[in-house]
Amino acid sequence: MDNTQLHVAIVSSPGMGHLIPVLVLGNQLATHHNIKITILAITISSLSSEIEFLKKSNEKKTIEIIPIPSVDISHLIDSTTKIVTQFHLLVRGALPGIRSIIASMNHRPDALIVDIFGTQIVSIAEEFNIPKFVFHTTNAWVLTLFIYLQVLDQEIEGEYVDLKQPLEIPGCKALQPDDVVDPMMDRSNQQYHEYLKLTMEYACFDGILINTWEDLEGETIKAFRSNEKLQSVLKVPLPIYPIGPLRRTIEITERDEVIQWLDKQNYESILFVSFGSGGALSSQQMIELAWGLELSQHKFVWVVRPPSDGDPDNAYLNSNGNDTRVMFEYLPEGFLTRTKDMGLVVPMWAKKLKF
C-alpha cells in the first residue's frame, strides 16, 4: 500500500445491525474519497449469517475486512443480562486482539472510527496517537437523546417511565416517558449504567459522525452544538459531522420467492413485520403476533427468528437460526396453512433473503 494514501480503520461491534452500517461507511470512504479502509469486525461465532456476510463482503476487495473473534463471556452473564451489557463485555474482551492487529500494521491508521459500543477502544487510539471518531449510525435526534441522558440522570429521580410529563430534549420533540429507549427503562439494571457510561465516553473522542444531514435535522444539530446543558456534560466542544444519508445498496440478482410474491401484490398493500437483529420475541409473543396478523386479514411479510422465551438478548447471541422448524413450531397450529394466501413467513437467516 502507498503510505501516502490516507488509512482509516473502522471497528464494528458484534452483530449485523452494527456491521452493515460500518461496511456502508467504509465503502463510501473508499469509493468516493480514495481512502484505504480496514474494517475490524468483532464477530459472534454462533451467528453463521454474520460470518457468511463477511466472506461475501471481502470478495469485493474494495476494503480490507479483518474478523476479530469474540471471547467467551458466558461466565460473566446469566439469563437476566441485557444486550447492552453483553455487547460491552464482548467488545472489552476483543480489545487485546484489536490492539495487536493495529500494532502490527506497517501503515498504522491515520484515523480510527468506532461505533457506539466501541468507545472502550479510546485507550488504544491514545496509545498509538491516532485521531479517534465515533460513528453514531442513527440520526441527530437519537444522538441528542443519547448524550442528554447525562443531564436527565442528574436532574430526574426515579424511573423515567413513571414520569407524568414528557421529557424535554433540546432541539427535539418532547419524548413520552414510555417511549424511552430500552436501556432507559430500568435505572436499577446494569444495562442502564453501561449505557450511561457510553454517553460519557463519547466526550473522549475528537468528533462524532452521524447518519443525517443539515437540511433534514437542522434544528436538532444546532441545539446539539449550542445548548448549554449538552455542552456542559460534554465538557469540551465536540464536533459533529452530518455525513448522511448513508444507505445500503441492495443488489437483487434473482427474483426469489419473496420478491416474486411482492411483485404480484398491489402497491403499498403489504405489512412488513421485522424486529431487527436484536428484537427476538418470546414464544408467547410470537403466538400473539401470529394471531394478530391472521385476524387482521391484512397481507404481510413476517421475518421471524427463534423465540427467546422471555430472553431476547441471549437469543440474539446464542441462536444461529439454521433450523427453521425451531421457529415455525412456535406458531399456532395451522397458521401457515390458513395464511398461505395472505402472507409469507420468512426465517431471518434464510440464505435467499436479500433484505
Q: Return the active site residues.
A: 18, 115
DSSP helix/strand/coil, 310: coil
At which residue does the C-alpha cell 491515520 appear?
110
**Residue 30 CB burial class (10 angstroms; 0-12, 13-18, ≥19):** middle
> 7-24: b or e for each residue (b if 16 or more CB lie within 10 Å)?
bbbbbbbbbbebbbbbbb
* Cα 191 from Cα 197, distance rounded (Å): 10
* Cα 106 from Cα 5, distance rounded (Å): 13
DSSP-H helix ranges across the chain = 16-33, 48-58, 83-104, 122-127, 140-155, 190-201, 214-226, 228-234, 257-263, 283-296, 312-318, 324-328, 335-338
* Cα 40 from Cα 307, distance rounded (Å): 30
- CA distances to 35, 196, 221 from 22, rounded to whole Å, are 15, 23, 22
Displacement of CA 307 from its chain's centroid (Å) = 20
* Cα 307 from Cα 142, distance rounded (Å): 28
* Cα 199 from Cα 184, distance rounded (Å): 12
- At residue 135, what are phi and psi to the nearest 5 degrees? -100, 105
DSSP helix/strand/coil, 3: coil
